[in-house]
Structures are given as structure tokens and as C-alpha cells.
Amino acid sequence: MSAVHAQTITTVPASPEQTGIAAVPVDGIWMLVALMLALAFMGVWLIRRDTAPRALKTVLGLMVAAGLVTVGGYNPSVSAQQLLSLLSFTQSGGETLNVPILRTPSTGLPVDFTPVQFTNTTQTKLKISSITPPASAAVCFPAGVPASLPSTPLPSGATPCTGNLELAHGTSCVVNVASMCAQLASTISVSPSQATFNVHGTTTLTVTTNANSPQAALHPALLVPSGSHISVLSSTCGPSLAPGASCSLTLTASAAEGPTTLTVAGSNSNAAQVVLTAQALPTISVSPSALTFMQTQTGSVTVTVDSAATVSAENVVPVIPLGSQLAVQSSTCGASVAPGASCVITFTNPSIEGPTNVQMAGSNTNSVTLAVTTQAIPPTVINVSPSSLNFVMNQSASVTVTVDPAAPMSAQNIAAIVPLGSNISVQSMTCGASLAPGASCSITFTSSVMEGPTSVNVAGSNTSVASVAVTVTPDMPTLTSTTRAMCNSTDAGARFIKLTGTQLATASSVMLGAVPSPSITIVSDTEILAALPSGWSGGAQAITVTTNAGTSAPLTKTFDAPAVAQFCAGDTTPESFGVFNIFGTSQTNSVTGLCLLCGVVNPNNPISHNITTDYSQFAITVGLLGVSVQQALIGPAPVPASPNVRRAGVIVSDDTSDGLTAQDAVLIDLSLYDGSDLAASPTASQLTLLSMPELTSGQTQKMLVFDVPANVAFDRILVTLTSINVGGIQGLRVYGAVIEQGVN
């Protein structure tokens, strides 16, 4: 056992002074017994010595007194085993002694306190003037107040030490340490003794001071073990809790834990234990974290319970603030949502609103703030392609109207809005009353008047406005084709080409590459004649025509270059008149069959290119059988194949004053060769006899020509006259070979 000296008992002399035999200071019952035996021995000795009766009476009186003290005055029931602390007052003038606190066990919570006996060993009667209790309950209960306070009884017959108690010499009293300590302590209880609550939730403990407690519980508080997530959220306990009174401790937890044993204790009370369990909340998340949708439309969020949750989320609902027009259209959350599962909540709103904070929570979950915004329904976006439109007056052109695929609804009643004063009109449209998102339609415009660019709006009753810039241009001329170089019988020296196209009636000029045509002749709205300039060299030419509406796009053609010697030839139609180049720079001739006088006279004259006077003449005797005379006029280089048909032939005449007739001409055979290979051999019906208006009067030369098939190359023209045909021709003359100036 250990002793703590923090409390005292004080004595002062009793008044008045008591007289008599001084008390024998004793420290225990055995000394009293020894004293009594000594007195008894003295009495026997006096009797045997026949001592005076008075002395004998005195000794006998002392024996009786000792016996009484031994038997009664000493409290024989108080043994040394019960009073482990025996203290004495030794100062007759009074003194203050410490009252030892003797606990059993000496450490931990005590179950017993040893009473302390104080004995007056002075010769003076003493009075207890005061007993000072311990300064605090901690003196008695350094390890804490037990739930059941020790109540060690005093030994039987012991006199309690109290204030003003007088102690004669040799008498004693006992301090009830257990009672003294109990007066300083308080007993509390906590209800409930165990509880389970949610993380971030609360639980309330009621702390009550026992009604029989001698003291109020001082500073009752929760003692939280280190590492615990449990804490006191609020307390009504204050610094003192009277006997029979109660207070509350409201607890919360920041994380799951438990069961955790916690203690509620005051500075002078027992420690009441409570077992708490903080269970994890089912945590919910909301996706998306912010919701936006159009008025009268709907928007949905997905609520998901954390898969790590140990319990289902209960009664998950949105809490919409007062005054909001938001409403829940539907929910799949139901009464509970299992860990890891999800549900969907769909909102609607007839009004424009937000962002409005809606709290999403279950009855046992965390709360998530969802910002909900309801926007005005935007116009359905339409796009027009192209954004600018050009067409020729009296023509038409179209735009395509497309509804944005992301549009919230179909476009209604799409139309073109033509500004006042414009001559543009809608020729046709396919948009209809409604056009779905992603769909397209067309609007076709026309106008008979040049204007623009004019901004024409395209819109529906619920759409954005798209604009198209419409420009109506005058009828621009176009060129589609051209002829070869041409000539005519009235002005054989003039050279021109015939152009065909559209909108040519107001043509004012024609450009042949970089060189203007000297003059143009408007034949019709689709045809003009353009004179070739002096020194025209042919080749590739980009031809354009300009009218009062503008200049056409170029028409590029490649013309055969004219030769030094060229002549105009044709028959009765203007289109037949063409320009022919003299062809041939060498010749060969031959005779087949037996005829000594047959042959070609002056064979080189046709390659002199003087068609007015120089010619070769075929000599052949009439009546011969199987005889023919031939002359081949050969060019300096092969004539390449052309995709277009052109004419080739020879300039011929005879000895008559009128020259050859058409009937005579068909008796002549013409053929084309490419080296030794036959390239073309026209029939008699394919031969045409052309006049040559550039010749002077009295000259009878004519051109005998045929159409060279497309894609035929050649380098010579072979003229053949057979004896069987000689009778119709009187002295065939050949002035030269010709090939028409063509165009590709």
C-alpha cells in the first residue's frame, strides 16, 4: 500500500484540564495486558506481605482499570490487522497530523481504503478541532474513480474521528478514509452504452450523475483514443453536472471505424465506457456534375453508388429549392440503390432558369450539389450552300438548305425572303412544311433582270436566318465551236472562220489569241464570221468574243498553218469554200501496160506551185486495154493524222476551153499513200469538183477533192488515169496537189 499525505486532522487541548492518574501511553493491546499482569502480581505480593488495605485497594483499582481498558476502553474488536495505520497525538498543546490515504491495491482503481486510528498519548485531554479532507478526488483516486466507490466499514466499536470529539489520555478515534474520499467523488453513467452511426452523421450520448452521488460531476467530457476519427460535435455538459442531472454529448466521425471503446469521465468521476461504431456512408456521385437542357425539354443525370460502399443508398431523391420550376419527370432510383449500381433521374422545366443548385442525396448518403440550368430553346440552325449564287438572267440556279444535325428540332416552314424591289423570284423549292435535323432541301431562283449581289434571306418559322448573295448577270456569250479557215466566191482573197455559240447577237469583237479579228459579221445570235488577220499563221489560238454582256470564256483550237501558195475553192454552198494549201515537193510517175507513147509530160511542173501556167499532162492512147498512167505528188513530210475530216486532192483541167466537167472528173482515180502503204482510196461518188474563184478569166483549173477520213496520215497523193477512161477526157492536166487548212 502507498500513502499520500494531503489531508490533516488537528487537535487542541480540551478545557478544562482533567486530573488523575496519567494515562499510560500504549501502542497496543499487549502492553495493556502486560500492565494488567504486573498489577496483579503486585497485588498478590502486597497480600502476602500483609500490606495496608489502602495500598492493596489502590493496586486492585489499577488492575480493574487496566482490565477495563483492555476489555472495553481500547475497542478490542479493532485489531492491528484492520488498522494498518496507527498514529498518535503526542503534543499536549495540540498538533496537526496528516491523514494517510492507504489504497488497496496501491495502483489502479482502489477497491478499499484503510481506516486510520489516532490515539491521544499525551497526559492532556485533546479535542479534535478540524479534519481537512483531501484537496481533490485525485488525491484519493489518482488512477481514476471506480464505478463502485469503496465503502470500507470502521472496525466494530471504533469511535469515528469527528470535529470537537474529545480524546482523553490513551483514547483513540478512527478516520473513515473511504467515506472521506467518497465525499469527493461523483458517479456517472452514459446512455446508450453502445451506438452505431453513419460517417459524417451524429449520435448523442446522455451523461447522468448518479442521484446518490455526494458531489456533482466536474467537467464531464469524452476521452477519445489516439487515432480515432470520432469527435465531439457539441456538448451541453458544462463544468459541473449535479447529482441526478443529465447532459448530452453529440458525436460525429470523419471516417469509418469501430467498434471503438471510448470513455466519458469527469475530473472527479468514474470513467463510463461506451462502444461506438461509425459506419461508412454509401457515397454517391452524380454525372454530369452540371446539367443543362432546353425549356420544355428534358435532361437526365446518372446517380452511382460507390462500389466500395457496404450498404445500399436509401431513398435517393433530388431536393429542388422552393420557387424553382424544375420538376422530376422520372426516376429509376427507387427505395434503394445497391453498391456499384446506378439510377437515372430525369428533370424537366417549362421555364428558363438557372443555374439552380439541386441537392442530390439519399437518407443515408452524402449530398451532391447539381447545378441545373434550363435554357431558352435556340432557333434551329440552318445552313445555305453556296453562300453566293450567280446565274445569267432568264436562267436559274439553286441553293441547298441543310438543317444542322445537332438541331433540337425540325425546321418549320423554310422559305426565301426576297427584298422588296428585287426582280429575283423563287422558281421552285423542295423544303416542305418541316425539315428534320440533318436533312436538306433546295430552293431555285430565277430572274429576267440583271441585278445584284442581292442579299436574300432564307429562314423558317423557328430557325436561324441564313443569307445568300444572289447576282443575276447579263447573258454572257459562249463559244462552242469554230470552222477551218474559209473563203467565198465573192471575195476569194478574204479569209475567215465561222464561230458558233450563244448570245452572239451583240458581238462587238473577236480575239484570235492576242490578235483581234479585222472584222466580224453577225450571222445570228448563235453564229458570227470572224475575218482572219493578214499574216495569219494558224496554230493554237484561244478565241474569245465580246458582247455588251461581257467576254466569253476562251475557245482554244489548233489551226493548220497556211502555205505560201494557198487558194480558195468551193462549190455552190458557202460552207464548201475552204482554203487549200499547195502540197507536194517531189513527184514520181509511171505507166502500166504496153504503150510506147504513154506517160506524163512535164512531170515536175505540178511541184512548182504555179497553178496558173505549170502543169503536167497525161499522154495515153485511146483504145488500149489495161494501160494506165500514174503520177504521185509527194509532200516534204507526212501529213499527220487529224481527228477532224479535211479535204485533199489535185488541181486539174484539160485541153478544152471549159475545162473538166463533173462527169469527166469521176473518170480520174485519186488515192492517198503513206509511203508504199495505201491510206485512203475514195470512190468516184466521193469525189467533188470545186471551182477556184481566185483564178482569172479564161483559166479553167478546178480542184478535184475528197474527204480524208479522220485519223489517216499520208505523205503523197496518187493520180491515175486508165486507158478505158481516156475517151471522156481530152488531155488531162495536173497543176498540183492540195490539202485543206483544217482545225483540231
Half-sphere exposure of 407 (CA within 13 A, CB side): 21
Which residues, in sequence order, are CB contacts of 107 under 8 Å at separation 6+? Answer: 143
Q: Are 331 and 343 in contact (CB under 8 A)?
A: yes
Q: Are 582 and 736 in contact (CB under 8 A)?
A: yes
How far apart (Å, rounded) are the C-alpha atoms in residues 453 and 442? Answer: 20
Q: Could you tell me what percentage of the chain is helix, strand and coil, using 3-state DSSP and rounding each to the nearest 5?
A: 10, 45, 45
What digits encode the pLDDT tens for the residues 377-432? Answer: 888 999 999 999 999 888 899 999 999 999 888 999 999 999 999 999 999 999 99
Q: Label residue 40 by pLDDT band (50, 70, 90).
A: low
Q: Label residue 37 by pLDDT band (50, 70, 90).
A: low
**CA proximity to 606, closest of 640, 549, 565:** 565
- Work out the average pLDDT over 294-312: 91
Least confident span in 190-199, 536-545, 561-570, 618-627: 618-627
Which residues, in sequence order, are CB contacts of 521 under 8 Å at separation 6+? Answer: 496, 528, 529, 530
Length of the chain equals 744
How far apart (Å, rounded) are the C-alpha atoms in residues 500 and 197? Answer: 99
How far apart (Å, rounded) are the C-alpha atoms in residues 220 and 233? Answer: 15
> Higher pLDDT residue, 614 or 54?
614
Which residues, in sequence order, are CB contacts of 304 under 8 Å at separation 6+? Answer: 284, 285, 286, 287, 340, 341, 342
**Structure-block grid coordinates of residue 595:** 504503150
How far apart (Å, rounded) are the C-alpha atoms in residues 729 and 731? Answer: 6
- pLDDT score for 438: 96
- Work out the average pLDDT over 473-488: 88
Q: At what angle do helices 29-48 and 53-68 cross, to 10 degrees?
A: 160
CB atoms within 10 A of CB 330: 11
**CA proximity to 175, closest of 132, 136, 122, 123:** 132
**Structure-block grid coordinates of residue 49:** 506481605
Return the DSSP state at 47. H
DSSP string, 631-690: EEEEEEEEEPP-SS-EEEEEEEE-SSSS---HHHHTTSEEEEEETTEEEE---GGG-EEE
**Would the CA dihedral through 433, 439, 443, 444 be positive or negative?**
negative
Instruction: Please provide the average confidence, as pLDDT, over all residues in the chain.
Output: 86
What digits encode the pLDDT tens for the residues 55-94? Answer: 444 445 445 444 444 443 344 334 333 445 789 999 999 9
What digits encode the pLDDT tens for the residues 340-364? Answer: 999 999 999 999 999 999 999 998 8
Return the DSSP state at 350. S
State the residue for C-alpha cell 462500389.
307
Residue 20 reports pLDDT greater than 90: no
Residue 582 reports pLDDT greater than 60: yes
State the residue for C-alpha cell 460517417.
199
Q: What are phi and psi of 447, to 5 degrees?
A: -165, 145
Residue 26 reports pLDDT greater than 90: no
Residue 28 reports pLDDT greater than 80: no
> Higher pLDDT residue, 537 or 674?
674
The 3 state secondary structure assigned to 159-197 is CECCCCCEECCCCEEEECHHHHHHCCCECEEEECCEEEE
Residue 254 reports pLDDT greater than 80: yes
Residue 476 reports pLDDT greater than 60: yes
- Work out the average pLDDT over 464-474: 93
**CA proximity to 455, closest of 415, 401, 417:** 417
The DSSP bridge pattern shows strands 217-218 and 230-235 to be unpaired
Residue 637 reports pLDDT greater than 60: yes
202 SS3 class = strand
**CA proximity to 167, closest of 120, 117, 115:** 120
Least confident span in 83-92, 210-219, 599-608: 83-92
Return the DSSP state at 725. G
Residue 705 reports pLDDT greater than 50: yes
- Work out the average pLDDT over 466-482: 91
State the residue for C-alpha cell 482502489.
110
CB atoms within 10 A of CB 4: 16
The partner residues of 424 in beta bridges, in order of sequence, read: none
Q: Label residue 49 by pLDDT band (50, 70, 90).
A: low
Q: Label residue 678 by pLDDT band (50, 70, 90).
A: very high
How far apart (Å, rounded) are the C-alpha atoms in residues 102 and 124? Answer: 29
**Structure-block grid coordinates of residue 111:** 477497491
- Work out the average pLDDT over 666-673: 93
How far apart (Å, rounded) are the C-alpha atoms in residues 676 and 716? Answer: 10
Residue type, 386: P
The DSSP bridge pattern shows strands 466-473 and 166-167 to be unpaired
- pLDDT score for 44: 52
CB atoms within 10 A of CB 299: 19
Using only C-alpha atoms, what is the Rg of the chain? 72
How far apart (Å, rounded) are the C-alpha atoms in residues 608 and 30? Answer: 186
Residue 22 reports pLDDT greater than 50: no
> Higher pLDDT residue, 402 or 147?
402
Return the DSSP state at 727. G
How far apart (Å, rounded) are the C-alpha atoms in residues 349 and 329? Answer: 9
Environment class of 156 (CB within 10 Å of its CB; exposed 0-12, middle 13-18, buried 19+): exposed
Residue 681 reports pLDDT greater than 90: yes
State the residue for C-alpha cell 507526212.
638
Domains with residue ranges and CATH for the chain: 8-28+74-182 (no CATH), 188-279 (2.60.40.10), 284-375 (2.60.40.1510), 382-473 (2.60.40.10), 478-559 (2.60.40.10), 571-740 (2.60.120)
- From residue 639, alpha-carbon distances to 377, 583, 664, 717, 740 in Å are 76, 10, 28, 11, 11
Q: How far is CA 32 from the centre of its chain?
A: 105
Environment class of 24 (CB within 10 Å of its CB; exposed 0-12, middle 13-18, buried 19+): middle
How far apart (Å, rounded) are the C-alpha atoms in residues 366 and 254? Answer: 12
How far apart (Å, rounded) are the C-alpha atoms in residues 522 and 529? Answer: 6
How far apart (Å, rounded) are the C-alpha atoms in residues 590 and 523? Answer: 49
